[in-house]
């Protein structure tokens, strides 16, 4: 059965109290997952951008199996922009939605090669002009490669933040804003990675492992 705390209690929680609870959760997760970070193998922002596009509806493990051959064949934006579509589709086929992903990769590469030939873009507004790049992908690159504060809302961050009562919406952009409001900016990127680790290891989609959860005492959704 669920704890006596109602599902709606987090919504009634005062803003200051919610912020304190969020910071406590962040502290506990920092101790539990001190080495949490980006799970996509990459050697710079270009490779991470490509890997993150491929990771949509695909596991990071699968992407990491695909990208070595992909980057060996197309090591930079110029070569990827000129890729034969059929060859590119073949290389990324196992990541799913391969035709759409191949189009996004070529489109992003073409824009990088033409508009950002002098250097990889490091501003959100510029990254969002790349085909196939939304706020999640841009935040992955900005937070991981450029050290900019970034809330990365992947499927795990969305699920875990909702269960913890830190987010009250399904909209990724709104979840990003809500989490930003709760925590100091210098901890955003690490907190995102730790929520992802926690979602993979404990707070599973179908059956969360509440018995082994280090933040169960701070969670309005935990099962006892």
Catalytic residues: 136, 154
Cα torsion 138, 142, 144, 148: sign: negative
- Measure the N-to-C terminal CA separation of the chain; round to a whole number of Å: 6
CA distances (Å), 80 to each of 51, 89, 94, in order? 13, 12, 18
Helix (H) or strand (E) holding 138: helix 135-145
CA distances (Å), 38 to each of 5, 35, 66, 206, in order? 34, 10, 17, 24
- Please, which contacts does 180-183 make with residues 24 or more away whose CB atoms are closer than 8 Å? 180/151, 181/19, 182/18, 182/19, 182/22, 182/23, 183/19, 183/22, 183/23, 183/26
């Amino acid at each position: 059965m669920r704890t006596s705390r109602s599902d709606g209690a987090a919504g009634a929680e005062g803003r200051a109290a919610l912020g304190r609870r969020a910071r406590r959760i962040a502290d506990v997760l920092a101790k539990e997952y001190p080495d949490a970070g980006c799970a996509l193998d990459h050697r710079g922002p270009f490779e991470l951008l490509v890997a993150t596009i491929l990771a949509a509806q695909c596991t990071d493990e699968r992407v990491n199996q695909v990208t070595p051959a992909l980057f060996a064949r197309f090591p930079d934006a110029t070569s990827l922009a000129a890729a034969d579509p059929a060859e590119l589709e073949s290389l990324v086929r196992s990541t799913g939605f391969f035709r759409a992903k191949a189009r996004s990769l070529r489109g992003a590469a073409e824009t990088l090669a033409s508009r950002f030939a002098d250097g990889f873009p490091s501003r959100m507004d510029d990254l969002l002009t790349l085909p196939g790049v939304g706020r999640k992908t841009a935040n992955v690159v900005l937070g991981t490669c450029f050290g900019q504060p970034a809330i990365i809302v992947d499927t795990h961050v969305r699920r875990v933040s909702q269960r913890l009562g830190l987010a009250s919406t399904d909209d990724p952009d709104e979840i990003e804003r809500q989490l930003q409001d709760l925590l100091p900016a210098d901890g955003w990127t690490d907190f995102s990675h730790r929520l992802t680790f926690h979602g993979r290891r404990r707070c599973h989609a179908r059956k969360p492992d509440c018995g082994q959860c280090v933040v169960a005492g701070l969670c309005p959704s935990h099962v006892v």
